[in-house]
A and B are shown apart, each in its own frame.
Chain A
Amino acid sequence: KAGVTQTPRYLIKTRGQQVTLSCSPISGHRSVSWYQQTPGQGLQFLFEYFSETQRNKGNFPGRFSGRQFSNSRSEMNVSTLELGDSALYLCASSFFSRTVTEQYFGPGTRLTVT
């Protein structure tokens, strides 16, 4: 199976602009989670979508939003970009067994806000 793909891999934006990141999960996986990774804070959970519905949400401002399409592909949008939004944004698709969620990550999108 192909792995998780994320586009674009690198992005440079200016403060105040908005950005949309895309994620295609592993075929058959219906859950997509998004994380922000920075050196100081580590991996921070943004939100998770399952079958086009947001099922879990982290503690991020409303400028961060997402959606999932019927083919399980997901997009994440950040509006009114701030310098502090510079980070590696990771998408993960999930496999669920009886008691375990296993996440498989894409390579990430490196966002730089200037």
Chain B
Amino acid sequence: TQLLEQSPQFLSIQEGENLTVYCNSSSVFSSLQWYRQEPGEGPVLLVTVVTGGEVKKLKRLTFQFGDARKDSSLHITAAQPGDTGLYLCAGEGGSGGSNYKLTFGKGTLLTVNP
């Protein structure tokens, strides 16, 4: 069974601070995705990373996929209250490629205070 562990579980920071959240596994994934979920809504896809060592930037968000494709990080620069939400990572497949099924971590609940 593939498991994804996210840390920290909870994070409360002030507006303007930087932060990094982590997604770790002992398993290899063919791809890894990050989602953000707001209360009462479904998760929204932010980014997909596929290649080991890949770095993607989305405005103030920077996503990195580990070289061995077992872990990922999300870094937010100058956090804003609008960044508040539950950040979920999800891994797909393994070294053999896609299996059309995502395994989700339990998420990091981020609160950015004004």
Please tell me the number of chain A residues within 8 Å of chain B, measured between CB atoms: 27
The reply to whether B45 and A102 form a contact with Cβ atoms under 8 Å apart is yes
Q: State in angstroms the CA–CA spacing of A50 and B35 once bound together.
A: 23
List, in ascending order, chain A residues with CB within 8 A of B103's CB. Answer: 45
Q: Is the interface of A mostly helix, strand, loop or mixed?
A: strand
Report Cα–Cα, A33/B101, bound state, in Å: 9
Q: Are B44 and A100 closer than 8 Å at their CB atoms?
A: no
Chain A's nearest CB lies how many Å from the CB of B113?
22
CA distance A90 to B103 in the complex (A): 14
Judge whether A102 and B48 touch: CB under 8 Å.
yes
Given A90-B43, A99-B98, A108-B41, also A42-B92 (CB < 8 A): no
Interface residues of B in 30-47 (CB under 8 A from A): 30-31, 33, 35, 40-45
Please tell me if B23 contacts chain A, counting CB pairs below 8 Å.
no
* Known contacts A42-B106, A42-B107: A101-B101 contact under CB 8 Å: yes
Residue A69 is within 8 A (CB to CB) of chain B in the complex: no
| In the complex with contacts A55-B100, A99-B97, A42-B105 CB distance below 8 A | yes
Tell me, yes or no, whether B61 is within 8 Å of chain A by CB. no
Residues of B within 8 A of A31 (CB): 100
Do B50 and A100 have beta carbons less than 8 Å apart?
Answer: yes
Residues of A within 8 A of B104 (CB): 35, 42-43, 45
Given A45-B103, A56-B101, are A101 and B43 also a contact pair (CB < 8 Å)? no
Residues of B contacting A48 in the complex (Cβ-Cβ under 8 angstroms): 100-101
CA distance A84 to B105 in the complex (A): 21
Instruction: Return 11 A-B CB contacts under 8 Å, by A number.
Output: A31-B100, A42-B88, A42-B105, A56-B101, A90-B42, A100-B31, A101-B92, A101-B100, A103-B45, A108-B40, A110-B40
Binding site for B on A (CB under 8 A): 4, 31, 33, 35, 41-43, 45, 48, 50, 55-56, 90, 92, 94, 96, 99-108, 110
Known: A35-B104, A50-B100, A99-B30. 7 other contacts (CB 8 A): A4-B42, A41-B106, A94-B100, A101-B92, A101-B98, A104-B45, A105-B35
